[in-house]
Amino acid sequence: MPGRDREFAATPQTVKRHWAILRNGHRSAAQPKARREGVRRSPFVVRQVGILGCGSHLPERLLTNVELERMVETSDDWIVARTGMKERHLAAAGEATSDLATAAGRRALANAGLAPEDVDLVVVATTTPDHYCSPSTAAIVQHKLGLTRAGAFDVNAACTSFVTALSAAHAMVAAGTVRNALVIGAEKLSTVVDYTDRETCVLFGDGAGAFVLGTDAAQGELLDHLLGADGSGAELIQVPAGGSASPARADTVTASRHFIQLRGRQVFRFAVAKMAEVVEELLVRHGASLDDLDLLIPHQANLRIIEAAAERLRLPMERVFVNVERTGNTSAASVPLALDEAMQTGRLKKGALVCLVAFGGGLTWGGSLLRW
């Protein structure tokens, strides 16, 4: 059809007009009011969606820099100088990703004041599922929480997984496909970390964070999301073996190919540039500037990356939330863990403009804009 292939220019004006059309249907504003009221509304109406509740969970076991000094050739000073990290949490041998996710999800549901029958969807964002192929971790969490009415699926976009899952769940609640959705970021990264490799073993921790989304929220209105990927950089952050491209064999285990590998310098440059780009684009799309941004909650990958991205944006660190020194890099769990802590510690004020931003393997990147 004519005009069907036209490019959509995401200016503040076109974004507002686009959302107005989705909310109200494609009726002309020139129609008489009485006639508009008499016409049946389009079945697809975008609903305002916010965060009904948050929750998080960190395992009891702490792995400090002092302990790492006894495991590999490193030092507390070296780790802090290069990462900003002082400790990270590790799940117990019998704990699975679904256990961490269930604990965070249970707290989020209690915070939201919802009963199990009120939840229609469970989305678990993770790179470390309970099972390689089946079942999904989300299905296991759904069962553990007794959410018998809810559908369930996993999302894997590496450290961008939670923002990706949040955008998908937001769309489904906004469209009326589901009423309330439980979105969880959870990781047991200790299962894919080589604790003889000093470059990577200092970085990662385990944990989970969760949001409950719904249309009756008094806080955390979701405004927009932005997602991106570049598969040409897939080898920069990867677990080389264990999938269909390189199935698990004795030689892949011997060669330690089932552990996280990353190229730090290239990842640093990519992360700083993309996080700044995502924040700027989301603000421009909503007619806002960095002066309007009250709080940036970035993926807690590394303090140096966070500081460099803030410097690139010329955003003072006072408006950036950081907890990486106590959690390490928890991949898909880091953004919801940080937001939950920001809420618990009073960093989120009513009406505040908040941006979530992440990057990860794939390569992937993404962000979400919220009005608290």
The alpha-carbon radius of gyration of the chain (Å, integer) is 21
Q: Could you tell me if residue 14 is inside a domain?
A: no
Beta-strand ranges (E) seen in 139-268 are: 151-155, 181-188, 206-214, 221-229, 237-238, 261-262
Mean pLDDT of 247-261: 89
**Domain enclosing residue 367, as ranges:** 223-244+256-371
Angle CA(100)–CA(106)–CA(112) in degrees, nearest 5? 135
Q: Which pLDDT score is estimated for 217?
A: 87
Catalytic residues: 159, 299, 329
Whether 231 and 301 map to the same domain: the answer is: yes
Q: Is residue 66 part of a domain?
A: yes
Shared domain for 240 and 330, answered yes or no, is: yes
Q: Note whether 138 and 213 are same-domain residues.
A: yes
- Asked, for residue 297, whether it belongs to a domain, the answer is yes
Q: Please indicate, yes or no, whether residues 166 and 261 belong to a single structural domain of this protein.
A: no
- Do 262 and 206 share a structural domain? no
Average pLDDT (159-172) is 97
Query: Is residue 38 a part of any domain in this protein?
Result: no
pLDDT exceeds cutoff 50 at 29: no
Query: Which of 173-177, 199-203, 257-261, 283-287 shows the lowest mean pLDDT across its residues?
Result: 257-261
* HEC string for 59-92: CCEEEEHHHHHHHCCCCHHHHHHHHCCCEEEECC
- Tell me, what's the pLDDT at 14? 56
Please check whether residues 173 and 320 belong to one and the same domain: no
- 99 and 189 in a single domain? The answer is yes
Residue 182 and residue 235 in one domain: no
pLDDT at 33 over 60: no
pLDDT at 58 over 90: yes
CB 320 within 8 A of CB 339: no
Do the beta carbons of residue 261 and residue 238 sit within 8 Å?
Answer: yes
Using 50, 70 and 90 to split pLDDT, how confident is the model at 264? Answer: confident
Tell me, yes or no, whether 238 and 208 share the same domain: no
Tell the residue number behind the tokens 């509304």, with chain if given: 41
What pLDDT sits at residue 197?
A: 93
Q: Are residues 232 and 204 in the same domain?
A: no
Least confident of 4-13, 236-245, 338-347, 349-358: 4-13
Question: Does residue 67 share a domain with residue 207?
Answer: yes
CATH number at residue 284: 3.40.47.10
| Number of domains within the chain | 2
Asked if residue 148 has pLDDT above 60, the reply is yes
Residue 31 has pLDDT above 80, yes or no: no
In-domain check, residue 37: no
- Range of weakest confidence among 6-15, 253-262, 338-347: 6-15
What whole-number percentage of the chain has pLDDT above 70?
A: 88
Q: Are residues 104 and 134 in the same domain?
A: yes
